[in-house]
Amino acid sequence: MEQIQDYFDDDQDQDQDFEDHQKLLGYVNAEIRNPKNDTGNVNDSEIMTLVGVSSDAIEVYNKHSLPVGTVTGDIPKALYPLIKSGQISIEGISPARTNMNLRFEITIQIVIYTPVYSSRFLTDYISETKVQLITPNDAEFTLSAPVKETAALKRFKEVDAIFRRLGEELSAKERVPEALEPPESIVRTKLLQHQKEGLWWLVTREESEEVPPFWEETTEGGKEQFLNWLTKESTCVKPEPLKGGILADEMGLGKTLTLLSLIALDKGKGDGDSGESNATLVVCPVSVFSTWISQLEEHIVPGSLSYYKYYGGDRTKKAEDLMNFDLVLTSYSTMASEEPDVESPVKKVVWRRIILDEAHTIKDPAAGKSKMVTKLNARRRWAVTGTPIQNGSVDLFSLMVFLRFEPFNTRVHWRRFLQRPINQRLDSGLQRLKVLMAAISLRRTKDEGLLGLPPKTIETHYVELNAEERQLYNEAKEKATLLLTSFEYDRFKFHDVLSKLLRLRQICTDSALCTEELPTAFKDVSNKPHLLQKFVEKLQEENFECPICLFPKEDLVITKCAHVFCRACLLKALENQPGLCSYCRGSLGKSDLFSPIDLAPAAQFTRLSSKGRALIKFLQESREEKPAAKSVVFTQFRKLLVLLETPLKAAGFKTLRLDGSMSADQRTKVINEFQGSESDGATVLLATLRASGAGINLTAASTVYFMEPWWSPAVEGQAMDRVHRIGQKEAVKIVRLVAKNSIEERILMMLKEKKQVIAMDPSKERITDSGGMTYDNLKFLLFAPY
């Protein structure tokens, strides 16, 4: 069974950008040959998982992941190439059967989903094969299971009722939170009231012996049974309690101290009889190491909690060593590098608990770091993030997998019960999401007045582009819009449109950021547009840790499989293991490597950009009002930090820089220097969003400048809360610099819509949960009037 599930994870799951904005293309009727009636039974209107094995076979599994049989013939020949290239996603539906005794053939409908932008292209392609595709335009379609199957519609309403029932039960048994104190012999800092209540919630969940949500105990024939309301699965074995969940308090509310108090509260209580250690494993970005260590030094009695940094080339190889500590601190990149290593000591420990700090880091379930933390042994599992949803509710799926929250940890159930109704703009989708989060998460915000923080204001300042910038922008926009007019019929131009979109955004911030057209090497991944999006993000942010040496470097190479390494590290690895990517073990040669330094810069503008001028003007006004005032300038382009250093120095400002090219120790040094109170210290911190969006404290500043809007409101929120958090004594002002009459105004509108999904409030405007860039998004960004 485990082997089958792994196969689903590796081959059936499509990338999340694809799933976010897929549409129903149609369905084909198929027959399952040699059905395995003894193992994989199929009910009427059941959703089944289909796995494209080859051009000769599509394997069919029922809702319990048991094999049902195989589809052969013309259908796999037509569909397998599209499945393999990621152009379509498929699932099966069993319609009502008239002959229930048929053992050798079962008829199913293979439902095909595809991105909106390639639907016409794929419809024409499939029509040229021997497969009959039934589309929404066909009369037969209206009678099909995907659309009007009475039992399926009834089941949908039943699921809504089940979620409502759970929501009512949660409300009925909701208890007033109690205050719980950690032992003074370990934690020397008094917790705030909301932290005491949070600690009580954490302990209550860890000690719970209740069956997980959606399960209930029943008695049938005098025997104790357990029934899952959603899947209708029944078992005589009590399901494991869900000992953990999502701690989703807003950033700046002191989650780290609350978690340290949890570790202190049950220090030494590991169950030796079951092999459980006393150690808690904390996985976090390298940039957050300094936060955990500083919190230990500030709040914990010296020597009362032992900790170990499992990071770097000299880390221990013995599981016994790790078990001797109360807390083991490691990074996501370390976990990714050890995912294929069967001898990893982390895999051999039965942890007291696992805490994923900044848990949204694992939002891609196919990534090595996500697979690794999910496989680790621990009964208590915590996902800790102030932004569990960054782009859309699909971000939560990986957290369900990590928490092992059935049935939502399987892709087919996640899509069926949550993703589809949200994508279809149904109120029930967001209602279900709210109930699910209420069942497993704790969320408090600073708006609730828990901290008594000084106020935070957000201003948007619109900047007029100068004549040269406007001309360059208009020329780039014309090229992008011309390309987009033919895009709907040719999905292979998707990567070209994205590169031109990036160019427009760069012009809005500083024309000197622009590069020539992306090299033709990107054409190698033209049939997987999502890879290019990852390339573009890494080119513009350059915030990563090399999976080999685990340190950020500036001399980068990017592989065709969208993984970034130090040049020297990867070339050496290819000598030792020729033809293999050190991250994903996929095929890789030297011709598959691409380097950002090969991108020739466009003409440099010697004068300050319009946004640069506006920034210096704001900083000068702030200095005149309060000479010692400190500010943080955030951007997503690392090159901009370098471009701004010289003019800021000329204007009399002392600056520091924080970006993804720095090691963890270098980042800690910069942060400590900026937080210092020296009279001649730096007053301006230039930082990239990704390098400083998680787990660091910048409360020395009282003003934040965003040089451009980012796609994700959660990323911006993280950056804001580095300044507006516990320890801030002054009112905080956030200033967004937005190019007037540009694509940036459209991005702000998209941000507003995304925030409504993140708020999970179905009473607000209904929108499609879309984390990726869709054809409609592109049309809005490029064609909507300014």
Does residue 552 sit in the same domain as residue 611? no
Domain boundary among 118, 148, 178: 148
Q: What is the pairing mode between strands 327-331 and 280-284?
A: parallel
Q: What pLDDT score does 425 carry?
A: 67
Q: Model confidence over 133-167: pLDDT tens digits?
A: 888 777 676 655 444 444 445 666 788 888 888 88
Beta bridge partners of 235: 226
Same domain, 641 and 673: yes
Q: How many CB atoms lie within 10 A of CB 168?
A: 11
Same domain, 19 and 63: yes
pLDDT bracket for residue 45 (50, 70, 90): low
Cα separation, 154 vs 773, in Å, equals 33
Tens of pLDDT, residue by residue over 394-443, are: 788 999 999 999 899 988 888 888 887 877 667 788 889 889 999 999 99
Place of tokens 């090219």: 661
The alpha carbon of 104 is separated from its chain's Cα centroid by a whole number of angstroms, namely 43
Could you give the CA distance from residue 575 to residue 577 in angstroms, rounded to a whole number?
6
Pick the closest to residue 741 from 460, 474, 468, 472 (CA basis): 474
The pTM (predicted TM-score) of the whole model is: 0.64
**Bigger pLDDT: 164 vs 770:** 164
Q: Given CA atoms 318, 320, 325, 328 in this order, what sign does their dihedral have? A: positive
pLDDT band at 12 (very low <50, low <70, confident <90, very high): very low
Closest CA to 331 of 550, 592, 75: 550
473 located within any domain: no
* Residues 587-616: b if buried by 16+ CB within 10 A, e if exposed: ebeeebbbebeeeeebeebeebbbbbebbb
Residue in the block written with tokens 């819509």 = 753
Q: How far apart are CA 268 and CA 53, in angstroms?
A: 49
Q: Which amino acid is at 635?
A: T
Return the pLDDT at 487.
Answer: 57
Residue 165 within any structural domain of the chain: no
In a domain, 348, yes or no: no
| Same domain? 610 vs 687 | yes
List pLDDT tens digits, range 53-83: 888 889 888 776 678 888 988 999 999 888 8
Q: 651 and 710, same structural domain?
A: yes
Instruction: Verify that 585 and 671 share a domain, yes or no.
Output: no
What is the per-residue pLDDT for 149? Answer: 41
Query: C-alpha 77: how far from its chain's center?
Result: 34
- Whether residue 129 lies inside any domain: the answer is yes
Q: What is the DSSP string of 492-513?
A: GGHHHHHHHHHHHHHHHH-GGG
Burial class (CB in 10 A: 0-12, 13-18, 19+), 719: buried
Averaged over 284-303, what is the pLDDT? 89
Res 117: pLDDT: 52
Asked if 635 and 568 sit in the same domain, the reply is no
pLDDT at 330: 96
Count the domains in the chain: 3
**The domain spanning residue 44 has which CATH number?**
3.30.70.2330
pLDDT tens for residues 297-328?
Answer: 999 999 999 999 999 888 999 999 999 999 99
Domain that holds residue 129: 2-148
Of the listed ranges 246-255, 397-406, 655-664, 730-739, the one predicted with least confidence: 655-664
The predicted pLDDT at position 36 comes to 58
- Domain final position from 600, 622, 651: 600
Per-residue model confidence as pLDDT tens digits over 529-577 = 444 455 555 544 444 556 676 554 445 677 777 777 777 777 777 877 7
Q: Where are the alpha helices (DSSP H) in 688-727?
A: 689-692, 713-720
Q: Mean pLDDT, to the nearest integer, of 123-140?
A: 81
Q: Are residues 642 and 558 in the same domain?
A: no
Position 518 scores a pLDDT of 36
Is 15 in the same domain as 125?
yes
Under DSSP, the state recorded for 725 is S
Asked, for residue 731, whether it belongs to a domain, the answer is yes
Rg of the chain, C-alpha, whole Å: 27
661 and 554 together in one domain: no
What is the rounded distance in angstroms from the CA atom of residue 738 to the CA atom of residue 462?
A: 5
779, 684: one domain: yes
At residue 400, the pLDDT reads 94
Please report the pLDDT score of residue 41 as a whole number. 64
CATH number (domain holding residue 553): 3.30.40.10
Of 152-161, 387-396, 658-667, which range is least confident? 152-161
> 595 pLDDT exceeds 90?
no
Would you say residue 280 lies in a domain?
A: no
Any bridge partners for residue 93, and if so which? 47, 109
* Residue 68 domain-assigned (yes or no): yes
Let me know whether 580 and 622 are in one domain: no
Q: Indicate whether 622 belongs to any domain.
A: yes
Q: Does residue 737 surpass a pLDDT of 80? A: yes
Mean pLDDT of 331-342: 92
What is the sign, positive or negative, of the torsion defined by CA atoms of 126, 127, 133, 137?
positive
Say if strands 244-247 and 327-331 run parallel, antiparallel, or are unpaired: unpaired
Among 110, 126, 148, which residue terminates a domain?
Answer: 148
Per the model's pLDDT, the better-predicted residue between 187 and 410 turns out to be 187
User: What pLDDT band is residue 232 in, cutting at 50, 70 and 90?
Assistant: confident
pLDDT at 722 over 80: yes
- Domain CATH number, residue 751: 3.40.50.300
Q: Cα–Cα distance between 394 and 210 in angstroms, integer?
A: 27
Any alpha helices (H) in 209-270, and if so which ranges? 255-265
Q: What is the pLDDT at residue 235?
A: 87
